[in-house]
Chain A
């Protein structure tokens, strides 16, 4: 019994240490500015305040960035998951020339570094007159999100028994009918987890946003918030921590309600870092 308690205390102290930076982020965001510079620092805030959140929403362009990120990530997710779902169906359940090498290519691009593609992509999008638009970012995000989504969905698809589709065909469905009636409902959990991962990847992306967008109209959260750090003369840590918390809100929602889908995604094909 004693050993069990000791082990639990040990385990939880490690867990809390790992989680401490996040706890500190939360605490800092609700401390008044003057309390930050107190010595010794207060672990829990003496006075709670949401002034930084108000300031973030009213005085800065945070909401604009947030909105850009929502549009950008949602569009990327819808486009990528739609293409990848039919693509994965084709890769797993059809036979044609070049199918194997295509699957190989998907894996290859899944591992490809962004910095290799970013230079020509930059040139291409500038020439197309798309720089500084959300569209340019959707196109750029496809480069990492599509191989990733394909790879995940391919393994989810392979997990659906082929007999189900065969049965539907014998029962009178066409290939696409069987896909719609039988495969899609079975694939739904996989689609949800792929969509979540794609959304999170897009939400967190930094490099493409940094290179391709240089105007507040299209700037997403990652570069937007970073700009707030760089451009301010006097760094307001509470404000930045409030921004960090707000930026993590979608993630917290996913964690609270849809965590099983994230774990499923891990099982299906590893996760992009």
Chain B
């Protein structure tokens, strides 16, 4: 309410009054501020201990060569970064990471929006259908991976059986052990697991589009397809941008799903950056190098994160 009108600066307050205007806060106001700080103190303490300190030391670690089992390190400066950037592994991992992110994100968005449009209609047992769709999102990645590994099983898996009996293939497919099958499988399972997020977010937005808009479009002679492109899609644009940014960030840093499904294999063809960090630190015992990978990865993600945060801040105010 107060933001509407600016102060007309007709008369300057005299100096004495100006000095008074700069007066300190009232006692009560100070008490409130102190209470506010007290209430946020646990958060700040935890943040410093388990987030800020580790974040800084991750950067610090990346400047050392550390052998994980003994945790003994020697200062190497920026050597880790230099090695990393000339090593092929970083670039192939980055490539795998981008293929995975773009692939799974695209499918999530397409399936998610499509499914949301379907669920927005008045279908039978809608809430049951919604629960079923939502479920993959909430189950543990471990469960999802076990189930899919069983579905993908080359000898007894139902997927191979169905495809053979449908005449699509003659021999069982190795879904996870060869390329490009492994990447495609990972992308598909990722899409299956995470598209419900898009469904729910889009569905919530769809339900908030006022009916008058559709009525007006109908009066103006728009058919169902025109109504989708002229009414629905523009209304969804905002929420889609937010979803895409969020999901891009989360998919980019996905570890569990890929690690558990393929472990980065065959060889390193589905090895994304988070997997390299893990491998360097705990399989190759190169803690310093792992930290360097993690820092580089964070820098790449920072672009998206800043974009998203700016947007959120703008909405906040």
Contacts and interface: CB of A to CB of B under 8 A. Distances in A.
Asked if A and B touch directly (CB within 8 angstroms), the answer is: yes
Interface of A: 7-8, 10-12, 14-16, 18-19, 21-22, 24-25, 28, 36-37, 39-41, 83-84, 86-87, 89-91, 93-96, 99, 102, 104-105, 107-109, 111-124, 126, 139-140, 142-143, 146-147, 150, 175-176, 200, 203-204, 206-207, 211, 221-222, 225-226, 229, 237, 240-241, 243-244, 247-248, 251, 254-255, 259, 262-263, 266-267, 270-273
B200 A266 contact: yes
Given A18-B115, A270-B242, 16 more contacts: A12-B124, A12-B129, A94-B35, A96-B37, A104-B313, A105-B47, A113-B298, A119-B294, A150-B43, A204-B141, A251-B135, A251-B139, A259-B131, A259-B134, A271-B200, A273-B251
A150 B287 CA distance: 31
Given A94-B33, A251-B139, A117 B249 contact: no
Interface in B287-315: 287, 290-291, 294-295, 297-298, 301, 305, 308-309, 312-313
Nearest to A196: B138
Determine chain A's interface SS by DSSP, over half rule: helix
B45 to A, nearest CB: 9
Given A117-B58, A121-B50, A229-B146, A18 B133 contact: yes
Nearest to B276: A115
Nearest to B123: A11
A117 B54 contact: yes
Contact of A7 (B40, B123, B156, B204): B123
Interface string B255-289: 11001100000000000011001100110000100
Contacts of A124: 53-54, 57
A120 B61 contact: yes
B46 A237 contact: no
B71 A12 contact: no
B161 A251 contact: no
A19 B58 contact: no
Given A270-B201, A273-B194, A119 B291 contact: yes
Range of interface residues on B (Cβ < 8 Å)? 35 or more
Given A12-B124, A225-B142, A36 B200 contact: no
Contact of A86 (B33, B42, B118, B301): B42
Contacts of B255: 114-115, 206-207
Given A87-B40, A146-B43, A11 B35 contact: no
B309 A21 contact: no
Contacts, number: 264
Contact of A119 (B39, B158, B287): B287
B55 A117 contact: yes
Interface string B29-73: 000110111011011101100110111011001000000000100
Q: Is the interface of B mostly helix, strand, loop or mixed?
A: helix
A176 B35 CA distance: 9
A15 B309 contact: no
Nearest to A111: B305
Contacts of A36: 156
Nearest to B43: A87
B163 interface: no
Contacts of A105: 47
A118 to B, nearest CB: 8
B140 A247 contact: yes
Most buried by A among B43, B242, B249: B43
Contacts of B291: 119-120
Contact of B161 (A16, A40, A263): A40
Interface stretch (B6-14, B147-155, B179-187): B147-155
A22 B46 contact: no
A18 B140 contact: no
Contacts of A248: 139-140, 143
Nearest to A143: B50
